[in-house]
Amino acid sequence: MTGFSVILRKDLRLELRSGESTIALVALSLLILVVLVFALDPVGGVRDAATAAGALWVAMIFAGMIGSTRALLAERDNGCLRALIASPLDRGALYLAKLAAAFIFMAIAEAAAIVLMVLFFNLDFDSRLLRLLPIIGLGALGFSALSTLLAAISGRLRAGDLLLPLLAVPMFVPALIAGVKASGAALTGASFGASAQWLKILIAFDVIFLTSGYLLFEHVIGED
């Protein structure tokens, strides 16, 4: 069994046992969508795909930041992170495992958010939603890669929870732009070809941040 799977299985088991992170994230997504409906007041009756897509991605970002912080927080108790560093575990494997955990948290929150989005923004439950899934998936993957790396830093600092959004959000902008545009297009029934350029940006973003995160994680996860 590889180090990656050992860590991931342990994290999933812990989460299944307490469920606190997932439930909180789903609730958070719900709240954010409600707030956005009040704030943006989408024209009732008209299917407002563009606004819906935007709201979905806002919820994703907030869920993502909390998800990745929680994924790393699991190692705070009893110095377990130190144990992992001293163990034969490969640093890159630890990064990927934490990334996977954050991604799973985000995916669950996003699934709930998509359902709520359809309800709140007067859309339809139809095949267009299926086209939405890979786009959301790419976005969540990119954000997980980015925020797992940054959360390792912010988790060590005094007011780190303030710092994480300050760092993560500007860095995520390219994926945010591309993701919202592609999502909006998918919701209006456009084919993937129409959004090709946006998808390319999303994929490039994911590749860049997965690679950088994997290579740089060992520098932020160590001790003094």
Partner 1 sequence: MEPALIEARGLDIAFGAIPILRGVNLAVPAASVALIVGRNGAGKSTLVRLLAGLSAPTAGEASLFGAPSRTLDSAARRRLSIVTHQSFLYPNLTARENLEFYADLYRVADGRAEIPRWLERVGLTSAAHARVRTFSRGMEQRLTLARAMLTRPEVLLMDEPFAALDADGVGLVADLLCEAVARRCAIVLTAHQPITIDGLEFDLYEIVRGRLRPMHGRAIGASAPRAIGGVGR
Partner 2 sequence: MNQRLNLALGALTALLMLGAIYMVFMFVPTEADQGIVQRIFYFHVPCAWVAFAAFGLVAICGIFYLWLGQDIWDDLGYAAAEIGMVFCTLVLVTGSIWAKPIWGTWWTWDSRLTTTLILWLLYGGYLMLRAMADDTPQVARFAAVVGIVAAVDVPVVVVSVRLWRTIHPAVLVTRQGGHGLEDPRMVATLLVALAAFTALFVWLLILRFATLRMRTRIMTLARDLNLAHAAAGDLCCTISTTSSPLTLSSLR
Whether 160 and 76 have beta carbons less than 8 Å apart is answered as no
Give me the least distance between CB of 20 and partner 1, in Å please.
10
Residue 2 backbone zone (phi > 0: left; psi -120 to 50: alpha; other: beta): beta
Give me the least distance between CB of 222 and partner 1, in Å please.
8
| Rounded CA separation 121/153 (Å) | 37
Residues 117-147, buried b or exposed e (16+ Cβ, 10 A)? Answer: bbebbebeeeebbebbeebbbbbbbbbbbbb
From residue 145 to residue 164, the character string flagging contacts with partner 2 as x (rule: CB under 8 A) and all else as - is -x--xx--x--xxxxx-xx-
| Rounded CA separation 144/148 (Å) | 6
Give me the least distance between CB of 3 and partner 1, in Å please.
7
Residues that bind partner 1 (CB under 8 A): 1, 3, 6-7, 10, 13-14, 17-18, 74, 77-80, 82-90, 222-224
Whether 69 and 151 have beta carbons less than 8 Å apart is answered as yes
| Rounded CA separation 130/96 (Å) | 26
Q: Does 95 bind partner 2 (CB under 8 A)?
A: no
Contacted by 89, from partner 2, partner 1, none: CB < 5 to 8 Å by type? partner 1
From residue 187 to residue 206, the character string flagging contacts with partner 2 as x (rule: CB under 8 A) and all else as - is ----------xx--x--xx-
Give me the least distance between CB of 62 and partner 2, in Å please.
17
- 3-state SS of 174-211 is HHHHHHHHHHHHHHCCCCCHHHHHHHHHHHHHHHHHHH
Give me the least distance between CB of 72 and partner 1, in Å please.
14
Query: Could you list the residues that contact partner 2 (CB under 8 A)?
Result: 146, 149-150, 153, 156-160, 162-163, 166-167, 169-171, 173-175, 177-178, 181, 197-198, 201, 204-205, 208-209, 212-213, 216, 219-220, 222-224
